[in-house]
Structure 1
Amino acid sequence: MNDYPPVDRLPAPQRYGSLRVQTSDLGPARWLTEHAAGQGNFGTVAGVAAPGFDAYARVLHPASLDERPVRWAAVAAAYGCEVGPGTRWHEVVGMDQGYNNASEYGLPGLWDEHPAEGPTPLAVAQALIPVLARHTGTSERCWFGLWHGYGRWDFGHVPTFGTPERDEVLLAGTLAEAVSPVSLDEFAELPDLWWPQDRAWCLGGDVDLVSTYVGGSRALIAELLAAPELETYPVAPGDSVG
Structure 2
Amino acid sequence: MFVHRDPPPSVYGRLRVQRHLTPARWLVRRLSRDGRFGTVAAVCAPGFEAYARILHPARLGTEPVRWDRVAPLHGRTVSAATRWHELIGLTDRLMYRNDDTPAVPGVWDEHPDEGPTPPDVARALVPVLSRHTGTADRCWFGLWEGYGHYDWDGVPVFATPGRDEILLAGALEDADSPARDTGGVPPELPDLWWPQDRAWCVGGDVDLVSTYVGGSAACVAELLATPGLEAYEVRATAAVD
With normalisation by structure 2, the TM-score equals 0.94
Identity of aligned residues (%): 60
Residue 94 of structure 1 contacts residue 103 of structure 1 at CA under 8 Å; is this kept in 2? no
Q: Displacement, 1:173?
A: 0.3
* CA deviations over 1:88-142 (Å, ceiling 9, x no partner): 0001100128959x98221111111000000000000000000000000000000
Q: CA RMSD in A?
A: 1.9
Residue 35 of structure 2 contacts residue 45 of structure 2 at CA under 8 Å; is this kept in 1? no
Residue 93 of structure 1 contacts residue 103 of structure 1 at CA under 8 Å; is this kept in 2? no
- Separation of aligned partners in 2, 1:194 and 1:63: 23
In the TM superposition, what are the counterparts of 1:45-124 in structure 2 within 5 Å?
Answer: 45-96=40-91, 104-124=101-121
Three-state SS of the structure 2 residue aligned to 1:129 is helix
Q: Structure 1 residues 145, 80: CA separation in 2 closer, same or farther (over 3 Å shift)?
A: same
- Separation of aligned partners in 1, 2:139 and 2:106: 41
* CA deviations over 1:134-161 (Å, ceiling 9, x no partner): 0000000000000000110111110000
Aligned length: 236
- Separation of aligned partners in 2, 1:148 and 1:191: 10
- Separation of aligned partners in 1, 2:92 and 2:213: 31
Residue 19 of structure 1 contacts residue 172 of structure 1 at CA under 8 Å; is this kept in 2? yes
Q: Displacement, 1:30?
A: 0.1
Which deviates further from its counterpart, 40-49 or 6-15?
Answer: 6-15
Residue 85 of structure 1 contacts residue 234 of structure 1 at CA under 8 Å; is this kept in 2? yes
Residue 95 of structure 1 contacts residue 103 of structure 1 at CA under 8 Å; is this kept in 2? no
Deviating runs (4+, > 3 A) in structure 1? 97-100
- Separation of aligned partners in 1, 2:13 and 2:37: 27
Residue 142 of structure 1 contacts residue 194 of structure 1 at CA under 8 Å; is this kept in 2? yes
Residue 49 of structure 1 contacts residue 215 of structure 1 at CA under 8 Å; is this kept in 2? yes
2:225 — aligned with what? 226
With normalisation by structure 1, the TM-score equals 0.94
Gaps of 5+ in 2: none
